[in-house]
Amino acid sequence: MATRKTVLLVTATLLTVVIIEKYILNFQSILANLPFLVNIFGQQNGNLSGSTGDLFTADSLRLYDGSEGSKGLHLAFLGRVYDVSGKGDKFYKPGEGYSFFAGRDGTRAFITGEFKEEGLKDDVDGFNLIQMGEVMDWVEFYEKDYKHVGFLQGRYYNHIGQPTKERLRIEKVFHEVRSAREAKEEERRRYPYCDVDIHEYLKKVTMACVKRRHVDDASNPAIRLPRKYFKPDVAGWRCACVETKYLTNNDLIGEIDGCDQQTRECLFTGDFTGFYN
Ligand code: HEM
């Protein structure tokens, strides 16, 4: 009798453990994914506008074109959906100047300016680094100025709102854009343009580093002197105002012929071959 009781007890305990594991713990992982699940169902039931993390399809997003009786005013950029109602009414509502962006992802047209139906596409195929920089600027603009409310299922996000390979590839390109911009900024700091005054008729050029913009910090003005600057991968040279600490052991710069190398203003009368400004 006692043995039967023990067997029953052990079986009941095991069953309880299995039930907890199967239904309660799994339920927790279901709960973890709930935002998207709720949103998918919400979209189908058509009653979940505005909650963070909604998942849209191209069709469900179209219902947010801001027209009378529509569900709201949304647009997508690079697969992220923003609520542009309120501040954006004057741009995106029907009849306004940028209404064609409402209720869809028209990323490509933001760069090409092709605002007709055939141009309003979401891809960035064939864009160069400069154009990708513009795409990045628009991403930053919408993230900053409007409320992100969800994801558009398609090219950039999958059916559970996770980024696709294409979206991840673009994130990498954005990284390249940031590096290129930083390098450009660094060049601008190290090798700012001189003030160049071209007296063509005399075949003379004054190259100077005396303006306020050549001083890094008014309280601690760094002396900059005019030098030839040979930008990597660019033919020729231009004049740059170079801080004295960068004057030595630097293959990118050269002396300007005929000038006193210690003066901040120099009258160049030498060979103009390769000179650009
Ligand atoms: C590829 C071309 C262009 C695109 C994709 C574009 C896109 C946009 C968008 C999306 C907005 C609304 C921004 C917001 O939500 O606050 C906007 C605003 C505006 N755009 Fe454009 N635009 C383009 C070209 C131009 C040009 C050529 C002009 C001028 C000649 C212009 C003048 C304006 C002005 C004045 C505003 C309103 C700015 C404000 O009130 O804050 N846009 N543009």
Question: What confidence tens digit (pLDDT) does each residue in 182-238 have?
Answer: 999 999 999 999 998 887 765 778 888 987 666 666 666 678 999 999 999 999 999
Q: Do 247 and 151 reside in the same domain of the chain?
A: no
Domain boundary residue among 143, 158, 185?
185
Domain check: are 161 and 206 in the same one? no
Share of the chain above pLDDT 70, in %: 77
Mean pLDDT of 129-151: 98
**232 alpha carbon – ligand 1 mean position (Å):** 36
| The pLDDT value given to residue 37 | 37
Q: In this structure, are 177 and 195 located in the same domain?
A: no
The answer to whether position 175 is within a domain reads: yes
Residue ranges making up the domain that contains 172: 34-185
Predicted confidence at residue 112, as pLDDT, reads: 98
Inter-residue contact 33 to 160 (CB < 8 Å) = yes
Same domain, yes or no: 117 and 208: no
The total number of structural domains that make up the chain: 2
* Domain closes at, from 166, 185, 204: 185
Atom 10 (ligand 1) nearest CA: 98
Residue 18, domain member (yes or no): no
Q: What is the CATH number of the domain that holds 127?
A: 3.10.120.10
- Asked if 171 and 204 sit in the same domain, the reply is no
Q: Looking at the structure, tell me whether residues 129 and 179 fall in a common domain.
A: yes
User: Tens digit of pLDDT for each residue in 36-67?
Assistant: 433 333 333 322 333 358 999 999 999 999 99
Shortest-distance Cα residue to atom 8 of ligand 1: 98
Last residue of a domain, one of 161, 185, 209: 185
Closest approach atom of ligand 1 to CA 109: 5
Do both 174 and 201 map to the same domain? Answer: no
Q: Note the pLDDT tens digit of each residue in 141-166.
A: 999 999 999 999 999 999 999 999 99
24 falls in which pLDDT band (50, 70, 90)? very low
CA of 4 to the centre of ligand 1 (A): 81
Question: With bands split at pLDDT 50, 70 and 90, how would you rate the model's confidence at 267?
Answer: confident
Is 5 part of a structural domain of the chain? no
CB of 106 sitting under 6 A from ligand 1? no
244 CA to centre of ligand 1 in angstroms: 44
Ligand 1 pocket mutation, candidates 110, 124, 135, 144, criterion most atoms within 8 A of CB: 110
In this structure, which residue's CA is closest to atom 14 in ligand 1?
Answer: 88
Residues 177 and 50 in one domain: yes
pLDDT at 229: 96
pLDDT at residue 25 in the model: 41
Top pLDDT among 33 and 46 is at 33
Q: Give the nearest ligand 1 atom to 146 CA.
A: 15
| Residue 87 Cα to ligand 1 middle (Å) | 14
Check whether 98 has a pLDDT greater than 80: yes
Instruction: Check pocket membership of 88 for ligand 1, CB cut-off 6 A.
Output: yes
Per-residue b or e along 52-86, where b marks 16 or more CB atoms closer than 10 Å to that residue's CB: ebbbbeeebbebbbbeeebbbbbbbbbbbbbbbbe
Residue of 79 and 53 predicted with greater confidence: 79
Q: What pTM does this model have? A: 0.75
- In order, the DSSP letters of 194-263 are PEEEEEGGGTEEEEE--SGGG-S-TTSPPPEEEEEE--TT-SSBEEEEEEGGGSSS-TTEE--TTS-TT-
Flag whether pLDDT at 20 surpasses 80.
no
Residue 12 inside a domain? The answer is no
